Structure 1
């Protein structure tokens, strides 16, 4: 099925692609001068993919056909397809059976992309450690409340397991396991958006903290907090779970803000 064809005026289409005005084509992109035409083409195709008008695995029309449908040049279409490919919404293959195919949006890939972007931003003046911690404080106590209200027996077991997971000898601090606990609580809400919002923040915190400078006793206290939060969630006590998570995150702020522990170096390098 070809993409839905939005209507437009010949004047707008010509202005976007350098053409001359003439009779309106039956399908033209409604181009606004304030935004590049390729981005508007990408936006329209993205809306159709996310909205389900274009199914996963479906082949898109070739560049020439898309150009005619949107009233733009092949180079404009090509640039729009590059944008969609960078967002993992289409996959392009070569050969006789090749072309551009719709890809199913992958939440894990979205989380990874957002985490990578936050990792870059946190090294700039525009995004500070304080911003990340504040966002976490707004999100995770509410997530703990929802988890206590919604978690079934299997989910409660997963939370308890995460709270009591033994420390990996390669990470004596248990820091990775600690963040896995927070991720499990986010997932226990049953709300994919909450999980996707919280996970990138945790990923950045994991890669930016110098864990070797934290005393073992401090990690032991973190373990105690996690077990306490897990107990409240297991008991279905939403208010207590929310309060315990908030107290935990407030106490952690001093650890992250301690001189010498926060780094701009990428831990993956």
Structure 2
């Protein structure tokens, strides 16, 4: 539901900022507004001052204020509505959009020498065993059902390898921790793997092993065996890393 303007039609006040010229002025304005939004000083639905008013408040030009709002819009922190009651309003941060943006950025970086696929796999090795332990410690009946269902999900005819379903299991496990930050950290990595691995190069028996590992991990979580869940996930990720790092498996 789009944010509604205040009944009075007035704009919310914003704290002033002494702009420093060592950084682009629009970045400084965007940073200050972002800080106020995330701190709750400018809650979701708040109408921001227009570009001219923002420029006067921060001592910058209207075009600088406009560029600052564009930065915030690209980060899904504000939304501009048209019409008589329109304006620029603070948006509720959406975790799904954050995951999508980070995944897109990682997908670009992994194509450059700065970030190698092995970096993603190493990060996964550090993250997911700990997530499996936490999921086992916190699992309730609903969580157990979701993890077991993900581990036993049938393969889609459009994806005989079951690779998409395999990644869905890892996403479900991250969510089973009840820790949003773990999901935000782990999901973008899985999204890159989803798009970059040449699944046709992996033998069917390898995917069968993956299925078996997922079922084992799911049972450890269901029974609350945190140590065993962590160890099984670590062994699983090590084996996946060996599989993924074979020559020719990356697009």
- How far is 1:193 from its partner? 0.4
State the partner residue of 1:64.
Answer: 52
State the partner residue of 2:15.
Answer: 5
State the partner residue of 1:38.
Answer: 26
Structure 2 counterpart of 1:222, from 210, 223, 237: 210
RMSD of aligned C-alpha atoms? 1.0
State the partner residue of 1:189.
Answer: 177
State the partner residue of 2:81.
Answer: 93
- How far is 1:99 from its partner? 1.1
Structure 1 counterpart of 2:66, from 65, 78, 84: 78
Does the Cα contact within 8 Å between 1:143 and 1:185 map onto a contact in 2? yes
Distance 1:243 1:53 in 2: 44
Does the Cα contact within 8 Å between 1:3 and 1:48 map onto a contact in 2? no
1:241 aligns with 2:229: yes
What does 1:103-122 align with in structure 2 at a 5 Å threshold?
Answer: 103-122=91-110
- How far is 1:48 from its partner? 1.2
- How far is 1:4 from its partner? 3.3
Structure 1, residues 102-139: CA drift from partner, whole Å, max 9, x if none?
A: 11100000000000000000000000011000000000
Structure 1, residues 4-33: CA drift from partner, whole Å, max 9, x if none?
A: 323xxxxxxxxxxxxxxxxxxxxxx22223
DSSP-derived class of the 1:54 partner: coil
Structure showing greater radius of gyration is 1
What does 1:7-26 align with in structure 2 at a 5 Å threshold?
Answer: none
Distance 1:108 1:97 in 2: 28
Larger RCO (alpha carbons 8 Å, 6+ apart): 2
Q: Which runs of 5+ in 1 are unaligned?
A: 7-28, 264-269
1:53 aligns with 2:38: no
Distance 1:219 1:143 in 2: 22
* Count of residues in correspondence between the two structures: 241
1:149 aligns with 2:149: no
Distance 1:55 1:210 in 2: 44
1:174 aligns with 2:162: yes
TM-score relative to the length of structure 2: 0.94
Distance 1:112 1:197 in 2: 11
TM-score relative to the length of structure 1: 0.88
Distance 2:18 2:52 in 1: 18
Does the Cα contact within 8 Å between 1:58 and 1:101 map onto a contact in 2? yes
Distance 1:34 1:228 in 2: 55
